[in-house]
Structure 1
Amino acid sequence: MLEYLTRLNDHNLPYPDTIHPIVVHFVIAMVLFAFCCDVIGYFTRNSRLFEVSWWNMCLATVAIFVAIIFGQFEAGLAKPYHLAKSVLNMHTLIGWSLSGIIAAITAWRYVIRTRNPQKLPIGYLGVGLLLVTIVGMQVYLGDQLVWVYGLHTVPVVEAVKDGILR
């Protein structure tokens, strides 16, 4: 039984496909949707959208840690070659930073929510815009790792195993 758990497939993974992108897409969607709800709620004075945003940020805070766990595991199995290492390192650094940033923003949001759930300070929207920008940069780096450098794609895994890519 243990041999089935430790065997790696054509993608250099012990399971059929990467899990990190699946989980991280939830984080991306929740952060972007939370920001949209905040902006629309702020300008329409619809405080129910603040509640939607709050719960999206709560779930994003939990989900980003799950995404990081799988991301670290899958990055370790990827055996990145020289050209991909700097992008992977930057992606990892920003990912860990985002976990702290999202947790801090969610904590700040909790304080705002307990004081007055009907209003949102404009400064919070500014920080939300900064968060959306950082998430966008992170998405760009993740896209590069898959679509430019081909981590966990069969041809790249084979090239690394054959010693063609170093």
Structure 2
Amino acid sequence: MPPLHPALVHFPIALVSFSFITDLLGRLFNRSSLRAAAFWTLIGALIGGACAAVAGYYDMTRDTLGETYKYVDFHQDMGWILVGAVAVLTLWRWLVYARRERPPGMIYLIAALLVLGLTLFQGWFGGEMVYSQGAGVAAAGKGTEPATNGKQRLDKVTRSEEK
């Protein structure tokens, strides 16, 4: 099975970012539609982040490159912390603001900004591991599974496009 984590990580990054921006704008312009969008995208970020973390754990168990393991392990630990932080933020958002349809307060927005910062750091760190250290990727034929498996999947896609 190919690595799933790279396909999933972009959703929570985008959704946490969008949630913070729409919450901020919803507070500034007193728009309930923006606040509702912020709440629902935060729920999407939580679900997407949990899926990305689980997929990352699965991909990490197949990582054969020992020299990058410490980076991947740190990234995984930060991922679980981030999922927890988004879960707390989502619960807070629902208990205090969403049920009462009130704009989020400044303390909540500061906490959301910190979660956004952690999310962006996590995305940067993951990209840095891959692009500078080759974590989870390898030269052709030296990946986390036999090259023939990947080649078969790629051939299926390219053949289907030729028809």
TM over 0.5: yes
Q: 1:110 aligns with which of 70, 94, 98?
A: 94
Change in 2 beyond 3 A, CA 1:119/1:159: closer
Change in 2 beyond 3 A, CA 1:76/1:42: same
Identity in percent? 25
Contact persistence 2:46–2:86 (CA under 8 A): yes
Residue of structure 2 equivalent to 1:137: 121
Q: Secondary structure at the match of 1:142?
A: helix
Change in 2 beyond 3 A, CA 1:37/1:111: same
Q: Which digits, 9 at most, give the CA deviation of each residue in 1:65-122, with x for residues without a partner?
A: 111111011111121322x222112101100101111111100000123553132111
Q: 2:137 aligns with which of 124, 148, 153?
A: 153
Q: TM-score, normalised by structure 1?
A: 0.80
Say what the alpha-carbon RMSD is for the aligned residues: 2.0
Residue of structure 1 equivalent to 2:13: 28
- Tell me, yes or no, if structure 1 residue 52 matches structure 2 residue 40: no
Change in 2 beyond 3 A, CA 1:99/1:157: farther
- Give aligned pairs, total: 145
Counterpart-to-counterpart distance in 2, 1:48 and 1:160? 45
Q: Which digits, 9 at most, give the CA deviation of each residue in 1:1-56, with x for residues without a partner?
A: xxxxxxxxxxxxx23xx321221110111000000001111111112111001001
Change in 2 beyond 3 A, CA 1:48/1:159: closer
Counterpart-to-counterpart distance in 2, 1:92 and 1:85? 10
Q: Once the 2 structures are TM-superposed, how far is the Cα of residue 151 of structure 1 from its aligned partner? A: 2.5
Higher relative contact order (CA 8 A, sep 6+): 1
Residue of structure 2 equivalent to 1:63: 48
The letter of the residue matching 2:35 is: F
Unaligned runs of 5+ in 1: 1-13, 162-166
Q: TM-score, normalised by structure 2?
A: 0.81
Aligned pairs for 1:3-22 (under 5 A) are: 14-15=1-2, 18-22=3-7
Unaligned runs of 5+ in 2: 146-163
